[in-house]
Amino acid sequence: MRVYVPLTLPRLAQAHEAGELGPGPMTAYAVTPALREWYVSDDIEELEYAALNRAALASLRLLAGEPGAARRRVVLAADVPDGTAVADPDRGLDQGALGEVRIAGALPLAKAAAVHVDSGDAEADVTAAADALGAADHGDDDARFVVDGAEDHELLWYATQEIPNLIGAQD
């Protein structure tokens, strides 16, 4: 199963140093039955893209809580054995939890397939979105518009061998 783990560049650096993400439990995103039903699609690439975008929003939430972190959303894509990532059946119909899964233990970085990171061009919009997130959550339509603006930026794909360059670029 492919999972998408939301991170920040400092958290990616910690994982790189430790050789793993964790300890668990941790939240990730994947193609769950609820996500599949919500998007009404059989195209696995579309569904994985939706799960990636859910993880990117979760990364934005992490950034909002880490004011010193570089303002780039980070998502680690990893392949885990079936059953490792489990959806909460009680949250299956909660739109905010679509695609959300829990991973009980640490996730070895060797399981990573790729890293998705915002380009430098996205930093201003991601910064504004992180700052507006609280107001957006409380129903402010203007703030929601700013948060949605971060989604206009596609995350770039990086091979896992490029992680040292990514974490070196956060300074």
pLDDT tens digits for range 97-142: 788 999 999 999 998 999 999 998 999 999 999 999 889 989 999 9
4-26 tens-digit pLDDT: 999 999 999 999 999 999 887 99
Q: Is 4 exposed, middle or buried (0-12, 13-18, 19+ CB in 10 A)?
A: buried
Confidence label for 92 from pLDDT (cuts 50, 70 and 90) = low
Residue with more model confidence, 94 or 45: 45
Distance, CA of 143 to CA of 140 (rounded, Å): 5
Specify the pTM.
0.91
What is the average pLDDT value for the chain, to the nearest integer?
89
Look up residue 25 and give its DSSP letter: -
- Identify the pLDDT of residue 171: 45
